[in-house]
Chains A and B, each alone.
Chain A
Amino acid sequence: MTSNMTPGVTPRMTPRQKRIGAVVLIIMGMGIAALLILTAFEKNLMYFYTPSEVAQGEVPTDRKFRIGGMVVDGSVVRNDDSLAVQFDLTDTAHIVTVEYDGILPDLFREGQGIVANGSLSVDGRFIAAEVLAKHDENYMPPEVAEALAKAKPTTPPPNANSKY
């Protein structure tokens, strides 16, 4: 950015040149801003995958994504002296093991549908940065309901029938 483009600084510029300069500056600024915004946007897009897609290796290993499924009954293992926890997540066809260190949401429990953000480790485990469960006992996260439907198209997902 050069100073002679700033309106009102260099007296030799005609009003027309000033206006053109201002327009060029604005277009350049908007272009740079749009580029920055779209780059940030692309970087922070998280795709959603089902445990089957993860198990079949259809998932990039170098970026964060979201995974959703049911917590397998009896699979939750807690560490004795920290908050580290691991559990299995399934869409009824395949199972992915999830590791998490932190406080699980209120509605997390075995047999419940959950969604987690994170990335895959080298040995194929999902390292979760965040675990989300819906704030309604009868409510299956729609992503999870869909993932279950995809894995087993004939049976309706358990727990998805609402009480009202």
Chain B
Amino acid sequence: MLAEIGHFALVLALGIAVVQVIFPFAGYRYGYQNWMAAAKPCARIQFVLLLTAFAVLTSAFVQNDFSLAYVAQNSNSALPLPYRISAVWGAHEGSLLMWVLILAGWTTAVSALESELPDDFVSLVLAVMGLVSVGFLLFMLFTSNPFDRLAQVPADGADLNPLLQDPGLIIHPPLLYMGYVGTTVAFGFALAALIQGRLTAISARWIRPWVVASWCFLTVGIALGSWWAYYELGWGGWWFWDPVENASFMPWLLGTALIHSIAVTEKRGSFKNWTLLLAIATFALSLLGTFLVRSGVLTSVHAFATDPARGVFVLALFAILIGGALALYAWRGPGAFSGNRFEGASRETFLLINSVLLAIATATVLLGTLFPLAHEAVGLGKISVGPPYFNLVFSLVMTPLAIALSFGQFARWKSDSASRLVSSFVYTLLAAVGITVAAYFSLGGNDFLLAGVGIFLGALVILSVVRGIWDRCRGRKNVLLTLWRLPRAFKGQTLAHVGFAVTLLGATVTSFYAVDEHVRMKPGDTQNVGHYEFDFVGLKKFEGPNYRATEGHFIVRKNGKTLAELYPQKRFYHVRNTPMTEAGILGGLTRDLYVSLGEPLEAGSWSVRIHYKPLVRWIWLGALFMALGGVTALSDPRLRNAKLARVAAGSAAHNG
């Protein structure tokens, strides 16, 4: 009975979403203010309805109601309670429900927080977001209803995919979805601006906090996914260029470009059309990500859905929303060279270079992700694009990006001189070269050339950021106080750029200096990896709640001194009949030591994987810095002052 209430709530939410679309658009077209006012209450009612549906589904999981097909397929009475709850979004139908719930959440946030914006503008934004919601609700009700009942109720469920039975996977999808779906807000703002035919510096400022907020969620979500893959897949990789990873990475790359482009539009009134296009494209890639992951077109661990009808539906939705948005952009978009002029050597130039480079990076990832699908679709056979392609093109794009980022720190807005830039940059450049040389002597290695480029770029970015702070404090009496009083937007930007460099350094060093040994060991054996000794002490077997496990016991030593004891496991999940590897990891800021069990061989031996991973945690640490930078920038009180400016601009817009 409860499930029918959930289903009914979904149907009602669809009806409300339709009203949320039609009334504001019609009201705008014919000038009925009171019709447009329907958008806000609709957004809130929709949120409450979807929250109800979500709560119903969660309670079905908690109570093991296997009469629901979705629960029966993804849960089991032996599954621990936290995983029964996270199983709600563990597969296709439930994660779609979460998608629309989060969309309704963002929509409600816009309706509640943007009270100072002109009402007609907010209504249009809500209507666009409502349109997206209509699409997804239709999709869910017609192809993937989580509340479908089974005619024959099974005695027990098929269990949650063991890969997803992990604390990291409880919060990874919600964070990622917050990020994905958050791009809908920028999309809504961009479309509302296009419909009204204006994108002023002030409306760019309106978009910015929403873009930064969703970008922060996406950053943490992607980092968490990478971290999860590292410890849960059992082979120590942290990024595979898997299509599903790419699907989340592409909106992140374009979102980064969007943040920087908005900054210019806001400060200088330039790049208006580029900002609008990026806002549309970022949302398009979020939709594409949903399509890639949810349609089952990919051969990937993440693609649980295999029903082609779903793919066709999402593709149609994609074509309507994005095709419509681009048509509107072509029709109403500002002229290509509108906005204020700037010179070749100015901060605008560097920001433009970098947002174009980020767009190129996105395009190369898109090529590598979609080309195999297209190739197969036209009947040319199955192909795949190897990680070396992505690694190479990505380093090709990141090199000029890091240099332009460093230069951009020094460049003035509007107009600057190249010679002044070069002369103020020269010491920073020399210092970065010095650090790279020092790294060469401490790390060495035969192919230092490529690793050296990465280290140099990371050092250059950090040094230029430090130099930027120094420039602001120089000549002040109380340096600490000056530092403290720096605007939060500047602190946030600084933190995010340092985060980028930290991730870059971590990725470079761990890619070039990691040691990866596959060895055959039996209890009593010792293996040397790097400067570390790994003693295989023994094995023991035990029963978990829904699996049985073999646990290895390893002692890690350095120079005869015991550092840690590691307990990697090989688990066997009963219901799904699936083995899983749980790695034993000794984490640290400078290096991780990683042991995982392969498989039992004859005579009590096991195949064992031992990794030494220098600086691998920097990859995720840098991502945390980036997200923290975003949050810091969001907390800038000037955003609140900007709200005052909005009131003035809003009333001016009403009068004018």
Q: CB-CB < 8 A to B393: which residues of A?
A: 36-37, 40-41
- The 8 A CB mask of A135-156 against B (1 = contact, 0 = none) is 1110001110010000000000
Q: Which residue of B lies closest to A82 (CB)?
A: B520
Count of A-B contacts judged by CB separation below 8 Å: 112
User: Which residues of chain B in 17-58 are interfacial with respect to chain A, using CB atoms and an 8 Å cutoff?
Assistant: none
Q: Closest residue of chain B to A44, judged by CB?
A: B389
User: Which residues from A are CB-within-8-Å of B345?
Assistant: 7-8
A106 touches B581 (CB 8 A): yes
A135 to B578, CA, bound (A): 7
Query: Do A163 and B158 form a contact, CB below 8 Å, given A7-B343, A8-B418?
Result: yes
Interface string of B229-248 (1 = CB under 8 A from A): 00000110000000000000
Bound Cα distance A12, B417 (Å): 15
Q: How far is the CA of A136 from the CA of B158 in the complex (A)?
A: 12
Decide if B200 is an interface residue (CB 8 Å cutoff): no
Q: A8-B344, A66-B384 are in contact. Are A33 and B396 (CB under 8 A)?
A: yes
Please, how many angstroms separate the alpha-carbon atoms of A134 and B382 in the complex? 17
- Whether B383 and A107, one on each chain, are in contact in the complex, defined by CB atoms closer than 8 angstroms, is no
Closest CB in chain A relative to B347 CB, distance in Å = 14
CB neighbours of A134 from chain B (8 A): 301
- Answer whether A103 and B368 are a contact pair too, CB < 8 Å, given A22-B344, A40-B392, A47-B381: no
Residue A28 CB within 8 A of the other chain: no
A9 vs B419: C-alpha distance in the bound complex, in angstroms? 8
CA distance A6 to B419 in the complex (A): 11
Q: Which residues of A contact B299 (CB under 8 A)?
A: 141-143
Distance, CA A143 to CA B300, complexed state (A): 12
A37-B364, A107-B579, A137-B577 known; A46-B386 Cβ under 8 A:
yes
Known: A40-B392, A78-B601. A46 touches B579 (CB 8 A): no
Cross-chain contact A48 with B343 (CB below 8 angstroms): no
B576 near A136 with CB under 8 A, answer: yes
Residues on the B chain within 8 Å of A7, using CB? 343-345, 418
- Given known contacts A22-B344, A136-B161, A46 and B384 CB-to-CB distance under 8 angstroms: yes
| Complex Cα–Cα for A163 and B161 (A) | 14
Measured CB to CB, the closest approach of chain B to A96, in angstroms, equals 17
A40-B392, A41-B367, A137-B578 given; A33·B418 CB < 8 A: no
The reply to whether A47 and B417 contact each other, CB–CB distance below 8 Å, is: no
Please state if B383 and A46 are interface contacts (CB–CB under 8 Å). yes
CA distance A104 to B387 in the complex (A): 20
Which residue of B343, B383, B419, B579 contacts A45 across the interface (Cβ within 8 Å)?
Answer: B383
Contacts of A41 in B (CB 8 A): 367-368, 371, 385, 389, 393
Cβ of B396 and Cβ of A103 under 8 Å apart? no
Q: How far does the alpha carbon of A8 sit from the alpha carbon of B72 in the complex, in Å?
A: 68
Does any Cβ of B come within 8 Å of A43's Cβ? yes
Contact pattern, B 361-405, Cβ under 8 Å of A = 1, otherwise 0: 000100110010000000001111111110011001100000000
Q: Which of A41, A66, A78, A141 has most chain B Cβ within 10 Å?
A: A41
A60: CB under 8 A from chain B?
no
Measured CA separation A75–B247 after assembly (Å): 38
Among B301, B344, B360, find the residue whose CB has the most chain A CB atoms closer than 10 A: B344
State in angstroms the CA–CA spacing of A123 and B524 once bound together. Answer: 39
Interface residues of B in 123-168 (CB under 8 A from A): 158, 161, 163
C-alpha spacing A71/B313, complex, angstroms: 37
Contact present for B384 and A106 (CB under 8 Å): no
List A contacts of B576 (CB < 8 A).
Answer: 136-137
In angstroms, Cα B607 to Cα A102, docked, is 8
B195 surroundings in chain A (CB, below 8 A): none
B402 to chain A, nearest CB (A): 16
Contact A44 B385 (CB under 8 A): yes
**0/1 string, B574-603, CB within 8 A of A gives 1:** 001111110000000000000000110110
Q: Which of B590-645 contact A (CB under 8 A)?
A: 598-599, 601-602, 607, 609
8 Å CB contact of B73 from A81, A82, A164: A164
Contact B598 A104 (CB under 8 A): yes
Instruction: Kindly state the separation between the CA atoms of A66 and B382 in the bound complex, as whole angstroms.
Output: 9
Q: Which residues of A contact B73 (CB under 8 A)?
A: 164
Chain B, Cβ-Cβ closest to A26: B356
Report yes or no: A48 in contact with B383, Cβ–Cβ below 8 A: yes
Contact partners of A55 in chain B: CB under 8 A: none
Residues of B with C-beta under 8 A to A27: none
Q: How far is the CB of A141 from chain B (nearest CB, A)?
A: 7
Closest to B388 in A: A44
Kindly report which residue of chain A lies nearest to residue B417, judged by CB atoms: A8
B90 CB, nearest partner CB in chain A, Å? 13
Query: Are A102 and B518 touching (Cβ within 8 A)?
Result: yes
Verify A103–B384 contact, CB threshold 8 A: no
| Residue of B with least CB distance to A64 | B386
Within 8 A of B (CB), among A1-31: 6-9, 18, 22
Cβ-closest chain A residue relative to B360: A33
Instruction: Say whether A83 faces chain B, with CB atoms less than 8 Å apart.
Output: yes
Q: Given that A37-B393, A40-B392, A47-B381 are contacting pairs, would A103 and B607 also be in contact in the complex, using a CB cutoff of 8 Å?
A: yes
Instruction: Write the residues of chain B forming the contact surface with A, with a CB cutoff of 8 angstroms.
Output: 72-73, 158, 161, 163, 234-235, 299, 301, 343-345, 360, 364, 367-368, 371, 381-389, 392-393, 396-397, 417-419, 518-520, 576-581, 598-599, 601-602, 607, 609
A-B contact pairs, 5 of them (CB 8 A): A6-B344, A33-B397, A37-B367, A106-B599, A146-B382
Interface residues, chain A, CB within 8 Å of chain B?
Answer: 6-9, 18, 22, 33, 36-37, 40-41, 43-48, 64, 66, 78, 80-83, 101-104, 106-108, 117, 134-137, 141-143, 146, 163-164
List 6 tightest A-B contacts by C-beta distance, closest first: A7-B344, A44-B389, A48-B382, A103-B598, A44-B386, A137-B577
